[in-house]
Structure 1
Amino acid sequence: MTTKPTIARIWRGRTRPEVADEYEAYNLAEGVPPLEKTALGVQLLREDREDETWFTTISYWADMDSMTAFTKGDPQAVHHLPRDKELLIELPEKIQIHRIVLDRKN
């Protein structure tokens, strides 16, 4: 039986446009793989704007306990990648945690 996610953990960060491709590749290589090993699913979204590029990582979890085990503590704490300070405009201070109310596919 497949476990359905009940929790979405959402991280958002932004870069300058000139380093957006570099950050995307870095996040795919360093940030996403640990999530792929543990979470039920992960998405990396990118929004290119004129003066900045936003990245959103959404990971899906069976419950708060599984997410807390992954984060080794406070699931709302931000776990920055080593190069985030160099590549991001500012270090995000928060993670959003949402309870999944509806998960329907057409």
Structure 2
Amino acid sequence: MRTARTPGETQPERTALAWQRTGLGVMAVAGLLGHRAVEEEGRVLLVLAGVAALLGLAVLGALAPVRYRDVRRRVVAGTGVTAPRLIAGVTATVLLTATVAALAVLMPG
């Protein structure tokens, strides 16, 4: 007999998926920046694309799993699941990548 799942049981999985989407989005933007850098032979833009890719990998490989385990542990314990420092770090990563992407689009070719 199946038991009904409580709404809190899916929160760690949803959180993990959101962090993975964020990391993949940063990686996608880094790939587009890298493509433009190679086309235009822009060394600075290529370095920035590499930094963005590394930040995306950090979100995917380090922060997302840590956040998943943390949320899972907190849901089981019944405590709050917010993590302001992690959220601020990922927000800074996304903003930095978006700024570099915007500058790349606005830069004259």
> For the superposition of Structure 1 and Structure 2, which TM-score range results when normalised by the shorter chain?
0.3 to 0.5
Using CA pairs below 8 Å that are at least 6 residues apart, which structure has the higher relative contact order? Answer: 1
Give the TM-score of the pair, scaled to structure 2.
0.32
Larger radius of gyration: 2
Structure that is richer in helix per residue = 2
Give the TM-score of the pair, scaled to structure 1.
0.32
